[in-house]
Structure 1
Amino acid sequence: MLRTLSPVRAYGLQDVPRALEVCAQDPVTNVFVAARIRESGLVGTRGPLFGYEAGDEAALCWCSANVVPVEAGPRAIAALAAKVVRRRASASSVFGPADQVLDLWGRLERHWGPPREVRRNQLVMTMQTRPSVLGLPVDPDVRPADGRAGHPRPGGGGHVHRGDRLPAVPRQRRRLPGRRGPAHRAGALAGPGRGGAGRLQG
């Protein structure tokens, strides 16, 4: 009996360039996953990133404390959801583009239980001008992150923790990029007390 190969597999170090190509289709919306890929290098045998490849369609799903679909259509969502359920019994949040998140959650909820909160219109915000160009003052309570702050990654950098220093930023111009036009919504689910998603954002 022949077994059909699954279009979904866990991505590893050798898949980093391909994964970043998928994220680059919408670099603003997919910035969270792209940053995690660069930080971790996808090192390990049970990495947190699933990749979907079928014909010309490619998609990703970050599967850790946060579950985040990337460029996933309905067929990809169905295949990725099956892998997510096998990997995790719950998540603190599921977030990303609203259509992808709500479709994914529709397949996860029966296994994880109802969310605490659903945010269907969570905005994605960007800045078109660097704070330093605007002449903004530096907040004395934060500083740029380096390899000593948070978890260092190859080539430097790391997570920004409380006490790290960053420029103070004014109210950002709202811009919601996406494949369907200049306005793109993110949705969110906030999860239950026992398992499920702590927050569902789309």
Structure 2
Amino acid sequence: MTDATIHTVYLQLKKRVQIKRGKVVTLRDIALILCEPEMEERLYSLVLAQPHEKDGNLLVMDLMWIIPKMKTIIPNAYIESIGNQQVIVEIVQNPKKPSFPLFVLVWILLFFGSALTIMNFHADVNMMEVQVRVVEMITGHPDEHPYLFQVAYSIGIGFGMVVFFNHLFKKKWNDEPTPLEVEMYLYQENIDQYVVAEEYKKAGTILQKQDENP
């Protein structure tokens, strides 16, 4: 195989990756490649960046910046891009152990907050009067305190929420994403799009200043 041989490299960037603070970013961290075996390790070991404190905790790497870096390893390579055009690199600190008191505090806030929300909703729609009327329609006798109906109704609310969110602690009933997971995915997608747009905006501002002050 001569140096003039054209090597085809298929490159697929990941969407978002996490790198520990102080670690260099290599091609292995941010992408998947498919090429001849003798070139694979050389490309995967290619150092793309060394994040510093001043860079913040997010880096956006564009395909148009990555390809020239790869060309330094294999000048005659034909790089075929598949999928994403950018990858977001999140710089993270060493993971900390979760705080049990903080977990308990958040759990209590969510529990009582959810309970108050449900009670306020029931007060707004006059649920007590509705339940009394429903029990009277079923039994034929008025009951100002239909406890049996209210207990069954409360259990039904809890069961319905478990079915709706498809989640009970770590147990899922099937592989379908829960509504919360879908919302979190869409939220993360919007954040990623914003980060990429802001990085392009910053890069354009820097280039404009360089043109104005050659």
Please state which band the TM-score falls in when normalised by the shorter chain: under 0.3
TM-score (norm 1): 0.25
More helix by share: 2
TM-score (norm 2): 0.24
Which structure has the greater CA radius of gyration? 2
More strand by share: 1
